[in-house]
Structure 1
């Protein structure tokens, strides 16, 4: 029915999923595999599903499809294999359907290109087009109360990014997987010549159109994304001068050795969740070298070789096209300089160390573009869930082991629930925002959603509890 505020869908969904990136796609696959919803069965009730995605089509890190970049995890950690190797949505089955299974085998690698893995995900997503609505930005989620005052469902309000029209959908269960929001340091202003690394491949060709010009470009950061962008800039703009600005003293290799890599095993989540908050924080700190501010050793070696070749040609660092500026940070940004560029005022990380810049901390770079590779924040769910804050049992965001949001069951029916994905690192471990646990986690969430009070999980579908 129509309302002055938009369109309200009277249909009650079993699940509305906010976002349709890899995490939600894994949920769709798990529902398909576990519940067999695409196999006609007249004896079972089929769940009513809806996925809402802000983008106009499925896309995974489109801004970081740097030429030649590879995955950092094995293809076995795809969207299905760890949960069910027989699933039709494994990476190997994707290769088989594309006629490239043997060809990929001949590569002799467990690490596919990022380009191919993105295509694998698009292939998976294409199977669920009938339950996904693209171009919908979810604004808020609010409780729907019964006559007794007990909330037994939630209203998911979204806005069409094209028309601005508001839509409302009612759901018994809501799964939120909105991904990370680009993090920008406070000192970095909003400026058209400043972009986050997440949009590097999509925005740079428009920002600096002439690839032959001797641009000045800076990259801020010391992790994998910063290193990839820094290395690729030399390929895309061979005449440009590029500088990598980082707080650390050197690019450091990621630790993906076998024993350390076990922290990403799905079964490790149980032990991590059972720890105290202090123990969890210590664990995350000790495991940072697996994921944060680190670079794959192969890329470090390529960059080092590039820097070394410059030393052969010239002893004057000022003539180099690529420079790494360690132990620096940006203290201020001039939005416009006399030459029309940005002015980056660098300062030593240790304010008492004037030797790191060679100019008592007054080092200024004039650049045509700045790419900021400083990671992501993962708290977007808090704004979306503001209308349900009063339903929390102790006025804080607590997450259960099955990824459900802790709700006061004196106010919310046991038939209704909210699940969070990709924002639970502090409770579920450092793998929470990564691909490593998606297949297993999606199965756990689907099991918990459809094993609640109003439905029973079966292999062939959802049987209504009478």
Structure 2
């Protein structure tokens, strides 16, 4: 057990905290820091690296370029250093392949492995008085401990598992976060696979399943009438400009809710034209061959779900407009049901799970959800050490914080500035405490 107290302990080392590590290095910050990550090695969306899938985002909105376009950690420099710049420039694609961007993330992370402890499963965080100062004690891998004056949670958003599927998660019912690992283990006897959702990821998974298993029946289930085109208007996409955060942050809850409904199609329950067209063409082409193995079950709500004695997934369905009932038996079900936000709303959670024992000691709204400040910090009601949420703040900061790369580098600039101010208030010198 180390008695070193770090100025910053970052939990999670996905793109958000990786961008923070870059900012800490490039600013020559005096802060001491360490990151803990549950994975064996840094990666990005490893369970959704599907053939042909792209990132739906301008590649210059990377880990660092909007903050520091001269950085060595930008996507363009990655292409140059790996000898793929001209191959990339010749690609007939609007956006980079997801697999290529994942390689970029891993390439950048490789420069910071000395700052990260991998295979580190954080079980709890608790405040305590240690050698005369208030710090966070972070317990991971059952018995290991790390101390930090500040926590930066960059754990990614919690998977949204609809209540009807609670208790069923496993090898037959699983979130897209675990898509490839479970699909690869699916027994050959499985013939009927379902996908819940109408997002970009849902369409991509249906396409992948039909290509991966040409002999299986694929069912797409969603409440809406059709797959909707993503709103890619350059005017709507100003939601991913930094000034939008300043506009959005100060709005009333009612105004935010109204704006969220208007802008939802830029990111949620919608898909890009290329994948929608590809799916429609594939269904049509199979019909020409006398096949009808891709079934679109639209206007459908799942009322009940259970796994029977044989391991099959049994669903009770309701047509949401005609109010008729039916049932469906599947061998596996993929939940493309998105992720939770910090808010008291459908698909929301009041606080990150790690803060469950302490959330009442921070400022909350009338519904009990954590209130996040403009600099992504939380306001403690007593003497708790500082906490920042890195990439978990869509409800307070808008769609640019919804797992998108668009504003990631500018977000960590705000966090780093606040961290530096906190350091100035710490009188105890940075040292290993015996």
Normalising by structure 1, report the TM-score. Answer: 0.83
Q: Distance in 2 between matches of 1:399 and 1:310?
A: 50
Q: Distance in 2 between matches of 1:222 and 1:193?
A: 20
Deviation at 1:252, TM superposition (A): 0.4
The aligned counterpart of 2:35 is 51
The aligned counterpart of 1:86 is 70
1:316-355 correspondence to structure 2 within 5 Å: 320-336=292-308, 341-350=312-321, 353-354=322-323
Distance 1:147-1:196 versus aligned 2 partners, 3 A rule: closer
The aligned counterpart of 2:362 is 392
1:140 and 2:124 aligned: yes
Deviation at 1:382, TM superposition (A): 3.5
The structure 2 residue matched to 1:309, chosen from 285, 289, 293, is: 285
The aligned counterpart of 1:265 is 241
The aligned counterpart of 1:41 is none
The count of corresponding residues between Structure 1 and Structure 2 is 416
Q: Give deviations 1:380-435, integer Å, cap 9, x for gaps.
A: 95432244445425685221100011123x635xxx52111222111100121221
Q: CA RMSD in A?
A: 2.5
Deviation at 1:129, TM superposition (A): 0.7
Query: Partner of 1:451: helix, strand, or coil?
Result: helix
Distance 1:376-1:81 versus aligned 2 partners, 3 A rule: same
The aligned counterpart of 1:43 is none
The aligned counterpart of 2:227 is 251
The aligned counterpart of 1:411 is 383
Q: Distance in 2 between matches of 1:322 and 1:394?
A: 46
The aligned counterpart of 1:155 is 136
Distance 1:199-1:382 versus aligned 2 partners, 3 A rule: closer
8 Å contact kept, 1:335–1:341: yes
Deviation at 1:28, TM superposition (A): 0.4
The aligned counterpart of 1:401 is 374
Normalising by structure 2, report the TM-score. Answer: 0.89
The aligned counterpart of 1:233 is 209
Q: Distance in 2 between matches of 1:182 and 1:386?
A: 17
The aligned counterpart of 1:454 is 424
The structure 2 residue matched to 1:203, chosen from 159, 171, 182, is: 182
1:289 and 2:265 aligned: yes
1:187-226 correspondence to structure 2 within 5 Å: 187-188=164-165, 189-208=168-187, 210=188, 215-226=191-202
8 Å contact kept, 2:136–2:151: no
Q: Distance in 2 between matches of 1:173 and 1:405?
A: 11
Q: Give deviations 1:31-54, integer Å, cap 9, x for gaps.
A: 11122x6xxxxxxxx432100111
Q: Give deviations 1:249-294, integer Å, cap 9, x for gaps.
A: 0000111111111101122111111111211111112111011111
Q: Distance in 2 between matches of 1:337 and 1:173?
A: 49
8 Å contact kept, 1:214–1:241: no
- Residue ranges of structure 1 left out of the alignment (5+ in a row): 1-6, 38-45, 355-359, 457-461
Query: Partner of 1:452: helix, strand, or coil?
Result: helix
8 Å contact kept, 2:125–2:139: no
The aligned counterpart of 1:127 is 111
Spell out structure 1 runs of 4+ moving beyond 6 A.
none
Largest Rg, 1 or 2:
1
The structure 2 residue matched to 1:275, chosen from 244, 248, 251, is: 251
8 Å contact kept, 2:128–2:137: no
- Residue ranges of structure 2 left out of the alignment (5+ in a row): 342-348
8 Å contact kept, 1:180–1:377: yes
Query: Partner of 1:281: helix, strand, or coil?
Result: helix
Distance 1:453-1:157 versus aligned 2 partners, 3 A rule: closer
